[in-house]
Amino acid sequence: MKSFFARPSKLLILLLALTLIFVAGCQAVSNLDFNTALKNSLKVTSSESKQSLEFKLLLDEEAYEGAPEEELAMMKLVSNMKLQLDHVKAQDSSNISMDGSLVFGEAASIKFSLKMSDKLAVMELEGAKHPFVLDLTSEGLLGLTGVSDLTGLPAGAASAEAPAVDEAALTALGHQMLDTIGSYVIHNLPNPERIEVKPVNESINGSPTSLMKVHVDLDGPEIWAWVKKYVDALVADRAGLDKMITGVFEILQSNPNVWAAAGTINPFEGSGLDAQDPKEAIKEATDAIALLLSELQGELKLLEEEPDETLDEIFSKDLTIKADVYFDNKLDIRKQAYELSYVPTMDLEYGILPVKGLTIKVESETWNVNGDVKADAPVASKTDISVDKLFGMQGYQVLKQFDEKSFAYDLLKNKLHIGKQNITWYPSDYYNPVILTADNITIIPLRDTVEQLGATLTYDAKTKSLKVNDGATNTTIVLKNDSDTAVVNGKNVKWAFPVTVINGTTYVPARNLAAALKAKIGWVDMGEDMRIFTLDREV
């Protein structure tokens, strides 16, 4: 594998190059001020739109010769995917609703609707028996991580003392920040080499609209040149950097309520001998950013000077980006179409994916920009499935939430195989390890095994028996210590080894337990005198 992939910093630079081009602003062309238009797009607070994101992989069919049909079918399914949003209503940053579908090639799709507020999200998925809900409050989101409150206090105790920030004031603050940062970050964006601007008439939500169309065409070498030119401009504009950082500090310093609402100590309220002078803080920040930009500039130069051909292979003419952006007379972006394509004419010896190339397309059209938009409000019911509960389910339990005749069920079960379960024991395991008896019978810890499969183990003190209840296979197993007879679904079955307690842990013969739970076991030779024991099943 080439050295390019062994140096993460350079890989990040190349990815940054591809990312930057999608947010590129330009100097004015044909009296169209792109920088102002880009700033306007960042200040959109409400709108209606339809959008799509399409991803295509050009598979190398020869690389799949001899591969299982199931694997090839799965690759073909995911190699052509499209997220289609038919109607997005953004009331503000918190209240959003959308209807859409996830399309797999031309064969199948899954429709969905999503409604979000600042407190709740509800998704209805085609094929699902019930909607899925997500609690978006701070307590609810922390609950997903298993943490009640980052402060260590009871839920809501810390936030109760924090003052609320007026949403209008917060929006105005955000616009100030965008103007201040944009004066440096956006102002220095250079024009691409090939750019065309012309007036057009386009349909937006079915209505003919007069717009200015900007068309940009870039290939790999032009992208690389554009990125270098942009970094050089940022490095050269030290006065702009100083002005931006000073402006950001002034905005934050004049809005102490933001720090209080965030529950964070205001760094500008320091006093005494340890308090840092604001001018020193600004200089430290600008020096640090200037140093990072200078180092990035040096990294780009080193990449060009190295004999490694990877840079030329990636940023070749086989890499193309096409962009069409449509502006109205208010300089609001009303329609966009981007296409990134990479189909190399030469073989790349990276050995990562058996593909010949890829294409990514992004399209959207927007109306009612910053208008009176009402998003559909999320409403939860008692039958909805919470996302935190869904995350805690076994694969087979998730499948039960879907109609068996739906494409979503088929995708989850037969394509993604979420019902597959695997338990692996390594020779280095000291906690409840697999044990091989003198008679070459493998015994495994009962509770650890059944609970990892989603089953339950209970003890009946009256009968002194253990009961396994496996919901995946509707199987019950009743066992007693020191007995080699198990009762499986009401029938007595003789097992190869009696139930045995070792160091406080109940062990049972692996092969018999696996057979009762419709699983398979086996020893896998990993080489160097290392073998692992596995238990697998798909339910």
Name the H helices within 381-517. 387-391, 395-399, 407-410, 446-452, 510-516
Instruction: Please tell me the distance from the alpha carbon of residue 473 to that of residue 264, in angstroms, as a whole number.
Output: 51
Contacts of 15 (CB under 8 A, 6+ apart): none
**Alpha-carbon span 55 to 480, nearest angstrom:** 56
Structure-block tokens of residue 423: 């338990």
Which pTM value belongs to this model? 0.77
Write out the chain's pLDDT in tens, 539 residues. 333 333 344 444 444 444 444 444 444 445 566 667 767 777 788 999 999 999 998 887 777 777 777 777 778 888 899 999 999 999 998 899 999 999 998 778 999 999 999 899 999 999 999 999 998 886 666 555 555 444 444 444 444 454 555 666 767 777 788 788 878 887 888 877 788 889 999 999 999 999 999 898 999 899 899 889 999 999 999 999 999 999 988 888 887 776 666 556 666 665 555 556 778 888 999 999 999 999 999 998 888 887 767 777 778 899 999 999 999 988 888 999 999 999 887 655 444 457 788 999 999 999 999 999 999 999 999 999 998 899 889 999 999 999 999 999 999 998 889 999 999 999 888 889 999 999 999 999 999 999 999 999 999 999 999 999 999 999 999 999 999 999 999 999 999 999 999 999 999 999 999 999 999 999 998 877 788 999 999 99
Return left, alpha or beta for 370; rule: phi > 0 is left, psi -120 to 50 is alpha, else beta: left
d(CA 178, CA 189): 15
φ, ψ at 118 (rounded to 5°):
-75, -10
DSSP string, 12-79: HHHHHHHHHGGG-----BTTB-HHHHHHHHHT---EEEEEEEEEEEEE-GGGGTT--HHHHHHHHHHT
Distance from C-alpha of 88 to C-alpha of 99, rounded to nearest angstrom: 7
| Closest to 216 (Cα-Cα) out of 99, 336, 102 | 336
The dihedral built from the CA positions of residue 487, 491, 492 and 493, taken in this order, carries a sign that is negative
Question: What residues form DSSP beta bridges with 525?
Answer: 531
